[in-house]
Amino acid sequence: MEGLLGGRIYRLGGDIELDERVSWCPPGIRRTQAVNCYLIKGPSGSVLVDTGVRLHQADIIEQLDRLLSPGEPLSIVLTRTEMECCLNIPAIEERFTVGSVWYTGGITVPRSKAKSKRIAVDPGSSMRVKVMDGVVVELVSPLLRLLPTLWVFDPESGGLLTSDAFTHGGSAVPEAREGLRKFRWFSGADTRPIARNIRDIFRNRDVRAVGPSYGTPFVGTNVCLDQAGELARAIEEMGIQ
C-alpha cells in the first residue's frame, strides 16, 4: 500500500506472476506484475477506484481497514466492469458500508445494498461527477479500449487512473508496446484518432501521476507526458494508416 500523491491517492492490491497463464503477458516474459486498485481519500469519505482481483481479496480488505477510519463513507468507481475491477465488491460491501457503485457499459455488476450508478460517457469526451463531498472527479472516456472504459482523473492531486492502459511500468526496460497486448485489434485498425486522443487527454490536464490497473505507476509531470507520447507513438505504429 503506497501513497501515490501527497496522501490523497493510495495504491492497493498485490503482485501476480506474469507468465503464459496470463492473457495480457507479452510472449517470452516471466516476472511479477502489480495489479492495482486505488483509494482517493476525501475530507469526509473515500472513493475506491476498482476493487482488484479476487486473488488479492484478503489483502485489499486489510489495506482498506488500515486506510479507512471506522464508519468512513466509501463509494466505488469502476473503470470497467471486467473481472479484475468488480469481483471484490461483495466482500468489500460485507466489511464496509458502500454508498454507491459507479460504472459504465451494458452489464450488471455484483453488489447488494450499494446504490447502482450507471453512467455513459461518449468515447473521446469526459464528464465531471461529484462522487461524494470533497471528491469531484473527471471521468474520461478514452478511445483506447477494448470494452467500455473510464479513466478517473482527480484534478485536486493530478492523478490519472488509466485502467488497462499504461500497464508497461515495472519491467526492466519499460516499453509502451508491451502494455498493448490486450489491444491486438489495433493491428487491423486506423489507430491515429486513438493516439491523438491520448495526446489531447494529457495536453488538456495537469497530470502529475498515472496509475494503471496493472504495472507500477508513473509519477511526475514530465514522466507522465513522456509516457503519453511514447504510448501514442506505439499505438500509431501498431495500426494501419
Partner 1 sequence: MEELVETMSRDLPREVADGVTWMSSCLPFHLQDRVIHGHTSTYLAQGTESSILIDTGNPSSWNIISKTLDGLLGDKPLSYVFPTHPELPHTGNLPRLVEKYPDVKIVGDIRDYHLFYPQIVPNLHARVPGDRVDLGGGYEFVIVEAMIRDLPNTQWGFVPKSGVLFTADGFCYMHRPELDDEDPVHLPGECGLTTDELSAPIAVENAAFFTGSALYWARFANDADQVYDRVGKLMDDLGVKIVAPTHGNVITNIPEVAPIIRAGHKHAYRY
Q: Where do contacts with partner 1 occur on this chain (CB under 8 A)?
A: 16, 20-24, 35, 53-55, 81-84, 86-87, 105-110, 116-119, 123, 145-148, 181-182, 184-185, 188-191, 193-194
Closest approach of partner 1 to the CB of residue 117, in Å: 6
Whose Cβ is closer to partner 1: residue 50's or residue 82's? 82
Rounded Cα–Cα distance for residues 176 and 232 (Å):
9
Whose Cβ is closer to partner 1: residue 183's or residue 218's? 183
Closest approach of partner 1 to the CB of residue 234, in Å: 16
Q: What's at 220, amino acid-wise?
A: G
Is residue 165 within 8 Å of residue 151, measured between CB atoms?
yes
**Cell matching residue 37:** 486498485
Nearest by Cα to 160 from 128, 208, 198, 195: 208
Whose Cβ is closer to partner 1: residue 9's or residue 101's? 101
Burial of 108 (0-12, 13-18, 19+ CB in 10 A): exposed
> Parallel, antiparallel, or unpaired: how do β-strands 115-118 and 159-163 relate?
unpaired
Helix, strand, coil percentages for the chain (3-state, nearest 5): 30, 30, 40
Closest approach of partner 1 to the CB of residue 85, in Å: 10
Closest approach of partner 1 to the CB of residue 23, in Å: 4
Whose Cβ is closer to partner 1: residue 117's or residue 205's? 117
Whose Cβ is closer to partner 1: residue 119's or residue 225's? 119
Closest approach of partner 1 to the CB of residue 109, in Å: 7
Closest approach of partner 1 to the CB of residue 191, in Å: 7
Whose Cβ is closer to partner 1: residue 147's or residue 219's? 147
Is residue 132 within 8 Å of residue 182, measured between CB atoms?
no
